[in-house]
Amino acid sequence: MPVRSRLRPVQGRRLLRLRRAAGLPRPWPTAIWLTHALRHHPGVVLVRLAGDAPDGELRDGGAGPDPGGGATGPGPAHAAGRPREGLVDLVADALRNPLAVLQASVEAAERTLDAGAADRGTADRVERHLRRALAQTERLAALVDGLLELARQLEGPGPSPPAPARALAEAVARRLAGLPEVNGS
């Protein structure tokens, strides 16, 4: 079910200003806040994309060369080092955390079954791992819904978002999809 924002972008912009006026250190304090924002206030995220993303964020988080080509693991760009504070970094962290739990839970269930003991304790452990995995799929689905809603707002009727916002959104989408970066236009 698509997630509908109850906030219009202008309200989101006002919220962002309020956060700043309140002296909050970062407009995107945690991945969890981002998850909440994507679910309930995609307009705020839109404002962030449209008006507040500095050029450096776009360069660092989306359109720049992938610094992590040699890293192991299934995810892109993990060569290690400085954590980046941009939206792309937070989205990546927000998505990869439930993915990590999902993968670890399924592997843990597999290991438990491989251990061979078919007792009640084994069944309970496997059930717990699978329940945890299922919870992560729901969490991922909500995140993806939020990102889709964000994309819908960017693509929807009305005036087109500013070019930097579109470029950032495309960079986010490409990175999330694991597609190669596009340099230049």
Considering only 19, 132, 152, 174, the residue that binds another protein (CB under 8 A) is 132
In the bound state with another protein, the residue whose beta carbon lies nearer, of 18 and 71, is: 71
The whole-angstrom separation of Cα 94 and Cα 159 is 29
Regarding 45 and contact with another protein (CB under 8 A), the answer is no
How many residues in the shown chain lie near another protein by CB under 8 A? 47
Angle 59-32-125 (CA atoms, 0-180°, nearest 5)? 120
Q: Is 116 in the site for another protein (CB under 8 A)?
A: no
From the CB of residue 182, how many other CB atoms can be counted at a distance below 10 Å? 12
Q: Which of 9, 12, 61, 161 binds another protein (CB under 8 A)?
A: 61
Q: Are 146 and 39 in contact (CB under 8 A)?
A: yes
The yes or no reply on residue 135 touching another protein (CB under 8 A) is yes
What is the nearest approach in angstroms of another protein to the Cβ of residue 159?
31
Least spacing, CB of residue 156 vs another protein, in Å: 28
Query: Scanning residues 69 to 108, which ones bind another protein (CB under 8 A)?
Result: 70-75, 77-84, 88-90, 92-105, 107-108
| CA distances for 20 relative to 10, 23, 31, 115, 143, angstroms | 15, 5, 18, 53, 25
For another protein, the closer of residues 159 and 178 by Cβ is 178
Please choose, out of 13-21, 30-38, 149-157, 160-168, the segment that lies near another protein by the rule CB under 8 A.
Answer: 30-38
Exposure pattern of 149-181 as b/e (b: 16+ CB <10 Å)? bbeebbeeeeeebeebbebbbbbbeebeeeeee
The DSSP letter of residue 178 is: T
In the complex, which residues of this chain contact another protein (CB under 8 A)? Answer: 29-32, 61, 67-68, 70-75, 77-84, 88-90, 92-105, 107-108, 111-112, 125, 129, 132, 135-136
